[in-house]
Chain A
Amino acid sequence: MKYTVDKKGFYGNYGGAFVPEMLFPNLDELEKNYNEIINDPSFQEDYNKLLKDYVGRPTPLYFAERMSEKYKCKIYFKREDLCHTGAHKINNTVGQILLAKRLGKKRIIAETGAGQHGVATATVCALAGIECVIYMGAVDIKRQAPNVARMKMLGASIVAAESGSKTLKDATNEAIRDWINNPITTHYIIGSVVGPHPYPDMVAKFQSIVSEEIKSQLYEKEGTESPDYLIANIGGGSNAAGLYYHYLEDEKVKIISVEAAGEGVKSGKSAATSVLGKTGIIHGSKTLLMQTKDGQIIEPYSISAGLDYPGVGPLHAHLLESKRADFMSITDSDAMLAGLEVSKLEGIIPAIETAHAFAAFKYLDFKPNEIIVVNFSGRGDKDLNTYIDYFNL
């Protein structure tokens, strides 16, 4: 298996657990237990029940007829935007909250940027009746007031990260520091396929339901389990990991990962890690990240708060290096126009993160019979203000 994590927690040259000794016991406990817990039939039963009755799975695989006509190929949307809380994020938090309960944890912490993962975490904590503390950059708290209110309604405490640039990267630092200070009582629910081993693998496994469902859904519609292309937007890379998971070893299925170019790859305001990143260590993982020549981490930029992470998960760094995935960088303006186009052609308003994946179509050429599955990772309600300001709606 070329694209799964090895025994030491690496995907090829990337991954590992580069954390201070204080975190070693926490990660060791997770590492020793997570596979056993996840594979336990009674866990699977609980997990699948919640995915069905609470999250609303399976999500539809929808044939997008008018988009297909326009781009002269067969485009399917995997409708993760229809999940409870409006994005794929909850697949992971449902899994991790069940895991935390089995580990006997009494308190949950999480980081959030735009607030989507924070909401998904606060939601499952309410469901489980477990204390929830969300770290969020002070700057993001101001920018994302509706999601802050949602988390509060769900009973979570919000702690402002005042260090560094006061955004997602710093919220993640603060959550890790909290975990150092509370090693026994607390489980840290990371929101993407980032961080130290075993998080990238664990989060990918919880998101793998996306590609698992696509296999049977596509077979029903097209008589084949395998599309020609998979396209996903990528910040840390959790929706992409879910979309690719069961197809990684099937190299006939081509993969396109779409990252945020912000105002342009060379503008100095970008989050295009595949172009601008160099191998280094961020949040305990060896991966591609945006940094100065001295190794200081650079704050990225994208109009989409879910994509402005200065690194990518180690799986994605490996997929890029091994050429299993192609990467594309899409600017703010292309993404915004694509968001509008999908809304008008298909009657579904995408999250701006998701809109990046759709913007790729105008730069790609497909054959009429080729099947492309796009992960419709989230809905656009949370981005309405940004759309309003951008298009003077």
Chain B
Amino acid sequence: MNRIDKKLREEGKLLSIYFTAGFPNLNDTADIIIKLQESGVDMIEIGLPFSDPLADGPTIQDSSMSAINNGMNTDILFNQLKDIRDKVSIPLIIMGYFNPILQYGVEKFCKKCNEIGIDGLIIPDLPIDYYLENYKSIFEKNKLYNMFLIAPQTSDDRIRKIDSISKGFIYMVSSSSITGSKNSFSSEQINYFERIEKMNLHTPRIIGFGVGNKETFNVTVNYSKGAIIGSAFIKNLHENGVDSIDSFIKSIR
């Protein structure tokens, strides 16, 4: 069974962390992943940096630019991860924009992920229909889940469609916004969380964007299986370094 499914079946709410690979230092990747597992995180999104991240706010933009300037690229990332499964058992997902993956070669990329033990990918700018037509079989052959996003303006019909083709979880974007925008939720957002919960989807939902502290984490997990923290984690990493990971995670739950 895919590690993501296994984790989703466990009792309790999940805390997932996104970080940009290659930030703050090029070779921090494995260290960050190991420390996250040690501190009790349930799942990790490893960000493959891109020069033009359309859905991201300043924090992830800056960390991506630093990572690229540090020399991070797809080959280096795979090399840093090649022995990661000796030490890490929680689900590992690579999250990145489509162009770097396209340049590496989608098939070669997926094959590498499978060899390393990556469980899934999140590619925000890869359209669903394009994926289904061109890449679904490649993902399946390499035992990779492709997780899709939904957002407040996504129509019910489209959410149903996404639910019917989803594996693992649905990445539920908390608001009409780029990453890292807010650190509290409006009543409009809570209405949206409730509306989606009432749809009784087959696929579990994990909420991300705008989740960054204990309060927002606790609110989101009332309406979902878990939450993803990205910008707030990266900000802490930037300010307090890799050794502060455990205390940051403990401040969330």
Give residues in A with beta carbon < 8 Å to B: 8, 16-22, 24-26, 163-164, 169-170, 173, 176-177, 180-184, 278-284, 291, 293-297
Q: Is the CB of A177 within 8 A of B178?
A: yes
**Interface presence of B176 (CB below 8 A):** yes
Q: Is the CB of A22 within 8 A of B176?
A: yes
Partner among A183, A282, A293, A294 whose Cβ is within 8 Å of the Cβ of B52: A282
Give residues in B with beta carbon < 8 Å to A: 50-52, 54-55, 57-58, 61, 65, 68, 73-74, 97-104, 124-127, 129-130, 148-151, 153-155, 158, 173, 176-178, 181
Q: Is the CB of B99 within 8 A of A163?
A: no
Cβ distance A200 to chain B, nearest Cβ, rounded Å = 16
Q: Is the CB of B55 within 8 A of A20?
A: yes
In the bound assembly, the distance between CA atoms of A164 and B101 in angstroms comes to 20
What residue in chain A is nearest B96 (Cβ atoms)?
A: A295
Partner among A163, A283, A291 whose Cβ is within 8 Å of the Cβ of B61: A163
Provide the residues of chain A in CB contact with B177, threshold 8 Å.
Answer: 22, 180-181
Cβ distance B50 to chain A, nearest Cβ, rounded Å = 7
| Total inter-chain residue pairs, C-beta < 8 Å | 109
Cβ distance A287 to chain B, nearest Cβ, rounded Å = 11
Q: Is the CB of A180 within 8 A of B55?
A: yes
Provide the residues of chain B in CB contact with A184, threshold 8 Å.
Answer: 153, 176
In the bound assembly, the distance between CA atoms of A18 and B176 in angstroms comes to 18
In the bound assembly, the distance between CA atoms of A170 and B58 in angstroms comes to 12
What residue in chain B is nearest A172 (Cβ atoms)?
A: B52
With A21-B150, A25-B154 in contact, is A284–B99 under 8 Å at CB? Answer: no
With A21-B149, A21-B151 in contact, is A180–B50 under 8 Å at CB? Answer: no
Cβ distance A281 to chain B, nearest Cβ, rounded Å = 4
With A20-B54, A20-B149, A22-B173 in contact, is A164–B65 under 8 Å at CB? Answer: yes
With A24-B154, A163-B58, A291-B103 in contact, is A18–B51 under 8 Å at CB? Answer: no
Q: Is the CB of B158 within 8 A of A18?
A: no
Q: Is the CB of B100 within 8 A of A181?
A: no
Q: Is the CB of B158 within 8 A of A24?
A: yes
In the bound assembly, the distance between CA atoms of A178 and B68 in angstroms comes to 24
Cβ distance B133 to chain A, nearest Cβ, rounded Å = 9
Partner among A19, A278, A294, A296 whose Cβ is within 8 Å of the Cβ of B54: A19
In the bound assembly, the distance between CA atoms of A146 and B153 in angstroms comes to 39
